[in-house]
Amino acid sequence: MDDVARGLCKTVEDMGGTVEEVNARTVRIGCETVQRLELELKAKDGAPLAPIHLYEAYWAPLTEGAIGLWQTVRFLLSGGINALRSNARLNRFLFGRPRQFHIKRLDIFFLLVAVVSIVAMLIVGTTIGAVAVARLTFAGAQWVTEPLVRELTTLCETFVGVIACAVSTAVAIIAIARIVRRWSDGGAARYISMLAIVPAAAILIALGLTAYIAIPLAFLFNEKMPFGARTCEWCKYSSTGWGKSFANTVGRLHEYLLRIQHCSLPERWAWWALVGTAAVILFYALQAIVFGGKDEAGRTVGGRLTGALLSSILLLAVLAVCNDSGMLALLTWLLLAGSALFVRSFLIQYVGDVAIYVAPHMVDRFFDLRIRIKAVVWRAARAVYACVGEDGELLYDKVVIAGHSLGSVVVYDVLNRLINEDDLAGGAAPECCEDAPVELLDVSRRTKLLLTFGSPLDKTAFVFARNDPHGGSERDALASSVQPLIARERDFAWVNVWTPFDILGGSLEFYDTPEGDPDRNEPRVVNKIDPDAITPIAAHNEFWHNSLIYKYMYYALE
């Protein structure tokens, strides 16, 4: 709500208007207690604009921690394989009859790359995790031999090196693109950002080769690595008993401090660069350790675990520069573990939520959670449409519904439900249904805009489509009957803001009749590229901080 309020206020000011007042209230609409922000605005000529009220349906806590990594990966693999079996065609029941869409071969190729990459990540993660756990807990295991650990360590060093170089290159490309964006239109910046596909491809190729090498290396044991291995000293180091462990640890620390003290670097500038980097990392590490938690705004500012990890990486990096091969090996394994944790967090945070919601054809433990998510958003949306003023008439004549990412999928379902309820009310006497009166709210007429951004609606429609060789049009017709947004022509505009740099969202093509269809529906979904969302992957959340979505909200309400 805060982001949208600031975005709308800035849009009005950019157009020469002024913001008169911003109020926050907690109000009761029927049985629902909701919060809202009230904006009082004036146009460029000083004339007051109609007040704008902002409401939010917040469902994110319902999915927090509800799904694990394996369930998310299974969701991705099953969807990807299902889409690859589609023969590059998608059958949809739209606007009264079946329609067929032809999928671009390039999209199928990207989908294949995604499936192969997921399999490769599973192989690499399982191999390295199994060897590391076995080495640390079952030191006498015959299959976890010194040559095996050395070979895997060298393999990890190569892979981590490729990741480091690729990420550094991508960061430099994005920085240049942002500078260019300040001085020109979004076209040049987008072309520069597209160069980030080169380091991304390098990471994917390295991931595939690592998985290919790890299979015979860890499971067949009869293949040689294509390059020499470095001796892994830390792998051999072990002790028994708490006293001996503590004494050995202190001795090792003393040894490393002496090594740092007498470390000779090739050039003086390299030493100062190392000291400067160490100082910066140490500062953030101490900040995370001492002030770990959340700031006054509720944002995470670090954690003790983060601080400990940064401190460890700093120490190991210094020792690695000082030609300690054992520490370089340990640093490599820690960085690889950190990369795995980052990928795990990204998959669960973004893809996991989608997995919970968009697979309703599967009988699983998320059925009740999906119902709860829909109910939260439906109650908030219905409260807005049912709100009445002091004269007893419906208060809002212009309503904009906006949804980001999975939120766009949820608001699509909720808006369909509200329109269906209007159709079924039909002016009849109100009846009690789920603690809410069934009454005509004229949702289609009063809705001025459905705004989606970062939306995976197209991806989910294709990836989880049922490819039935024996037909299935009856099932598709049943699905369409509860989706009036694709069953009949819409009475309001639908704008979808997207960017090619967002791997989760995209353009929406499967909610209108195919191009060239003689029975063309109107109005159609308007797909607009956000020229300021140019950061690969991170572009998924950049829409909130750019101006395009707020301009569409303002135009619809004005």
DSSP 39-100: EEEE-TTSPBPPPEEE-----HHHHTT-S-HHHHHHHHHHHHHHHHTTTTEEEEEETTEEEE
Q: Which residue type, as a one-letter code, is found at position 415?
A: L
Q: Is residue 541 part of a domain?
A: no
Q: Which residue type, as a one-letter code, is found at position 277?
A: T
Q: What confidence score (pLDDT) does residue 289 get? A: 57
CA angle 470, 471, 473 (to 5 degrees): 160
Nearest to 415 by CA among 439, 387, 452, 382: 382
The whole-angstrom separation of Cα 82 and Cα 79 is 5
Residue-range definition of the domain harbouring residue 23: 1-56
Q: Is the separation of the CB atoms in 134 and 149 below 8 Å? A: no
First and final CA of the chain: distance in angstroms?
19
Quote the pTM value.
0.75
Counting the structural domains of the chain, the total is 1
Q: List the structure tokens of 448.
A: 């001025």
Which residues face 23 on adjacent strands? Answer: 38
Helix (H, G, I), strand (E, B) or coil at 547: coil
Tokens 């210094």 correspond to what residue? 318
Q: What confidence score (pLDDT) does residue 450 get? A: 95
Q: What confidence score (pLDDT) does residue 550 get? A: 93
Q: Is the separation of the CB atoms in 86 and 103 below 8 Å? A: yes
Tokens 């007042």 correspond to what residue? 21
pLDDT digits (tens), the chain, 558 positions: 888 999 999 988 888 888 888 899 888 887 778 889 999 988 888 888 888 999 999 887 787 767 777 777 777 777 777 777 777 788 888 888 888 888 888 888 888 888 888 888 888 877 777 776 766 665 555 556 666 777 777 777 778 778 877 887 888 888 888 888 877 766 788 888 888 888 888 888 888 888 877 665 555 444 444 444 444 444 444 444 444 555 566 566 666 656 655 555 544 555 555 565 566 666 666 665 565 554 444 444 455 555 555 666 666 666 555 555 566 666 667 777 777 777 777 777 777 777 777 765 454 567 778 888 888 899 899 989 988 887 878 889 899 999 998 899 999 999 999 998 888 775 555 554 554 556 788 899 999 999 999 998 888 888 766 655 444 556 666 777 778 898 888 889 999 999 988 888 889 998 998 887 888 888 899 999 998 888 888 888 899 988 899 999 988 887
Q: Is residue 30 part of a domain?
A: yes
Q: Is residue 31 part of a domain?
A: yes
Q: What confidence score (pLDDT) does residue 362 get? A: 52
DSSP 22-36: EEEEEEEETTEEEEE
Q: Is residue 452 part of a domain?
A: no
Q: Is residue 547 part of a domain?
A: no
Q: Is the separation of the CB atoms in 126 and 217 below 8 Å? A: no
Q: What confidence score (pLDDT) does residue 186 get? A: 66
Q: List the structure tokens of 77.
A: 């693999």
Q: Is residue 189 part of a domain?
A: no
Q: What confidence score (pLDDT) does residue 316 get? A: 60
- DSSP 8-state symbol, 543: G
Q: Is residue 39 part of a domain?
A: yes
Q: Is residue 46 part of a domain?
A: yes
